[in-house]
Homo-oligomer: A and B are copies of this chain.
Amino acid sequence: MTDLREANRGAVLSDLLVHRPTTRTAIAQRTGLSAATISRAVEVLVADGVVREVSEVVSANRGRRAVALDLVGERSVVAGVDLGASTTRVVLADFAGAELRRWEEPTRSDLPAAALADWLAGMVTGRSAGLGAGLAAVSVGLPGAVAESGAVSNAPNLPQVMDAEFTSGLRRAGAVGIRVDNDVNYALLGEQRRGAAADAGDAAMVTIGAGLGAALAIDGRILHGRHGLIGEFGQLPAGPMGTRLEHMVTGPGILRRAEEAGVPLARPQDLFDDEHRLSPLRTQFDHALQIVLTAVAVASEPEVVVLGGGIAESLAGDLDRYQATLGATLQVAPRLVPAALGSFSGAIGAAIDAVHSLYADLGAEPGFGGGHGRSAAS
Contacts and interface: CB of A to CB of B under 8 A. Distances in A.
Contact of A331 (B1, B229, B329, B332): B229
A202 B229 contact: no
Interface string A285-313: 00100110011011111010000000000
Given A32-B1, A153-B331, A233 B287 contact: no
Contacts of A1: 32-33
Interface in A127-180: 145, 153-154
B300 A233 contact: no
A19 interface: no
Contacts of A298: 229-233, 235-236, 299
B295 A233 contact: yes
A303 B227 CA distance: 10
Contacts of A237: 287, 290-291, 294, 329
Contacts of A287: 237, 242
State how many copies of this chain the complex holds. 2
Contacts of A145: 331
Given A202-B226, A229-B332, A300-B225, A236 B295 contact: yes
A299 B329 CA distance: 19
A291 B331 contact: no
Contacts of A153: 331
A57 interface: no
A28 interface: no
A218 interface: yes
A238 interface: yes
A330 interface: yes
A223 interface: yes
Contacts of A332: 227, 229
B295 A295 contact: yes
A301 B299 CA distance: 11
Contacts of A303: 226
A301 B238 contact: no
Interface of A: 1, 32-33, 145, 153-154, 202, 216, 218, 223, 225-227, 229-233, 235-238, 242, 244, 287, 290-291, 294-295, 297-301, 303, 329-332
Given A237-B294, A237-B329, A238-B238, 4 more contacts: A202-B225, A227-B332, A229-B297, A235-B329
